[in-house]
Structure 1
Amino acid sequence: MLQGAPWLLAHRSMLKPNQPMKVSLYGHDYALWQDKNGQINCLPNVCPHMGAMLSEGWCVSQTDGSSTIACPFHALEFDHTGCTTLPGSQKRTLPQMQPLELIIQNDFIWSYGGYEPKIPVPNVLNEISENYEFIGHIADTSVETDLLTMLLNMHDYNHQNGTHRPLFKIQEVQFKSFIDNGHHSHAFYDMPIAPTGLWEKLKQPDLMVLPPILKAHLENYFPSLVIFHGDVPMAKIAQVHLFIPESKTHTRTYVLMYGIPKNPVFNLFKKTALKMAKVVVEQDADILSKIYPNTPQKIKLNNEVGMDWVRRNFESFPEIAEPNLSK
């Protein structure tokens, strides 16, 4: 599961103050919460008393603005260090849990899952947040598939006119180029949209915002994120897809959406953009549940260079695979 890679557990907007959120990484569950001061804490999700899930409990605010997390079974409260005060004796214990080390960059909550870092946290999201307006997050989903299969699907550019045909009416994928810079790559391709009449657009209003040809630019940072750079009449979009190996058999994915408005109707477009991203994730999750894993690939299509990039980096991690530029 590529131990030593950084994973974006959450965006700060996903954490409501003093409401625990369950996250999973490398086969371990954690309770993540933010106090009123904005401090973000993360403990193993199991109470050391009798094993209850802390994420099913609640947070208790302290006078200084910090908060503890309370076990839903016996209401034991644990601070961010994993210490609790025993009822009756009022004795404060030593830390009973090892907090998960987090790397907080602006609104981004990264973690190496307790492993030694082998590749750096990419700076691209900080750059996007400085230049784009944050629209929101959507489609936080745990998919029953391993990380490699998930990434191969995301970098399979030929699946756009199959899996996503119902949403975008894509007729074909016209692949342009792939730029391989090790753990950082770019893919460029065009996707002509099938002509639709007024009645069909009225039944599916999302089609009204699509240009005749979808020009895709995917910017990829192995292994945890794919950024779709889109340009539509109303806005310039950066749609960020995140991936987290929850376990050997489950991979979590979600989307962060950013935009640069071009005209005032952009505000009306925000919900449509989020809705489309949600459907994309749902369609990908659905198809991943309908394939037989480990099937020998007897047919190779053109333009599988993105999938090859994923396989090479998986095999060589953390070393950088030999670049295969613009093939």
Structure 2
Amino acid sequence: MNQLQGAPWLVAHRSMLKPNQPMRISLLGNDYVLWQDSQGAINALSNACPHMGAMLSEGWCVEKPDGNSTVACPFHALEFDRAGCTLLPSSNKPTKSLLQPLELIIQGDFVWTYGGHEPKLSIPGIMNEIASEYEFIGVTGNRSIPTDILSLLLNMHDYNHQNGTHRELFEIEEVQVKQFIDEGLHSHAYLSQPRKQPTLRDILRNPGQLAMPQVLEAHLENFFPFMGLLHAENKLLSLKECHFYLPETEHQSRVFVLMYMKAHSPIAHLIKGNLLKLIDIVVEQDAKVLGKIYPDTEQRIKLNNEVGMDWVRRNFASFPAIAEPNLSRQWVA
């Protein structure tokens, strides 16, 4: 995959990695095995065993006396260290590196990588700031979706689809894009979304509704092409909903969401689990639609509020160059 090379990708949060349990990740057409040893060191190698191609992520980890660990092939139990070296049964000497390690950038609990390509964008510091100031609620919405990364990004920056894809979940009656600030590969969108008043039955079925006011005022901060943040404030809590996007293959993408909050009321702590479930449903609804579209369809209709989608298309076409915005730098409805 040649598109979007040089962008930073958040492949995992440390909470997603159980000690000494290998995990498969895919990025830009390549598969890797990712694991964390008992000392907290995180490693990644190409996932295909150089003997007969077995997936190392289907194997296991072997902990060593110094706390480091190797990953063992499920086919013949060959062990590979973090450098991709192994000991053959007939020798006590390690081989040269037979598997290419994936270079990782570990920032606290965040596992970033450029996928082996020359960096073209820097990793923004905002996630470190959020992690230092807000309570981590958890990871949700983690799934691969059978769609290309452009279709995924267009969906995530489509400010109209709440009325369709998420109609029953939020019962939003109207979407108003009040302001869009275009800063090249970085943008801010401010939305106002009046919703139908939930009934008592709606609240009992989904207590997370208590965290949603009659009018959803949303501030969306976007970092092309890898991250989108929802900044939300209400009387119960301050919420940071952090969406991450990854191009796994040409026709498959991955998304997951990290949730952080500051509680302004004890009720906020009671609904943390409901918030995670709510966002998981949102991602599942998006995945269902994205898995059933014709991505090459010519767009012959244009709706209001497509400013975010225009921003995606422009940046996708020009990446990694920062094109002169064809939107005003500070567009106000």
Task: Compute the TM-score of the two structures, normalised by the length of structure 1.
Answer: 0.97
* Counterpart position of 2:262: 260
Q: Secondary structure at the match of 2:132?
A: helix
Q: Secondary structure at the match of 2:269?
A: helix
1:326 aligns with one of 304, 321, 330: 330
* Counterpart position of 2:161: 159
Q: Secondary structure at the match of 1:170?
A: coil
Please give the alpha-carbon distance, in whole angstroms, between the structure 1 residues aligned to 2:207 and 2:130.
28
CA displacement at 1:25 relative to structure 2: 0.6
* Counterpart position of 2:109: 107
Please give the alpha-carbon distance, in whole angstroms, between the structure 1 residues aligned to 2:310 and 2:222.
13
Matching of residues 66-81 of structure 1 within 5 Å: 66-81=68-83
Task: Tell me the alpha carbon deviations over residues 231-269 of structure 1, each in whole angstroms, 9 at most, x when there is no partner.
Answer: 133210000000011011000000000101112222112
Matching of residues 240-319 of structure 1 within 5 Å: 240-319=242-321
Q: Percent identity?
A: 59
Contact kept in structure 2, 1:146 and 1:249, CA below 8 Å = yes
1:19 aligns with one of 14, 18, 21: 21
Matched, 1:91 2:83: no
Contact kept in structure 1, 2:188 and 2:220, CA below 8 Å = yes
AA paired with 2:236? M
AA paired with 1:194? K
AA paired with 2:281? V
Please give the alpha-carbon distance, in whole angstroms, between the structure 2 residues aligned to 1:301 and 1:97.
49
AA paired with 1:138? T
Please give the alpha-carbon distance, in whole angstroms, between the structure 2 residues aligned to 1:40 and 1:203.
40
Please give the alpha-carbon distance, in whole angstroms, between the structure 1 residues aligned to 2:138 and 2:203.
25
Matching of residues 21-170 of structure 1 within 5 Å: 21-170=23-172
Task: Tell me the alpha carbon deviations over residues 289-311 of structure 1, each in whole angstroms, 9 at most, x when there is no partner.
Answer: 22211111111111111111111
* Counterpart position of 1:194: 196
CA displacement at 1:121 relative to structure 2: 1.1
Q: Secondary structure at the match of 1:302?
A: coil
Q: How much is the aligned-residue C-alpha RMSD, in angstroms?
A: 1.1
Q: Secondary structure at the match of 2:249?
A: coil
Task: Tell me the alpha carbon deviations over residues 13-48 of structure 1, each in whole angstroms, 9 at most, x when there is no partner.
Answer: 110110111000111100000001111100001111
Contact kept in structure 2, 1:217 and 1:229, CA below 8 Å = yes
CA displacement at 1:320 relative to structure 2: 0.7
Please give the alpha-carbon distance, in whole angstroms, between the structure 1 residues aligned to 2:149 and 2:120.
18
AA paired with 2:135? E
Task: Tell me the alpha carbon deviations over residues 189-241 of structure 1, each in whole angstroms, 9 at most, x when there is no partner.
Answer: 11111123223332343323321111111000011000011113321000000
Please give the alpha-carbon distance, in whole angstroms, between the structure 1 residues aligned to 2:123 and 2:208.
35
Contact kept in structure 1, 2:176 and 2:305, CA below 8 Å = no
User: Any stretches of 5+ residues in structure 1 without a counterpart?
Assistant: none
Task: Compute the TM-score of the two structures, normalised by the length of structure 2.
Answer: 0.96
Q: Matched residue pairs, number?
A: 327
Q: Secondary structure at the match of 2:191?
A: strand
Please give the alpha-carbon distance, in whole angstroms, between the structure 1 residues aligned to 2:214 and 2:205.
18
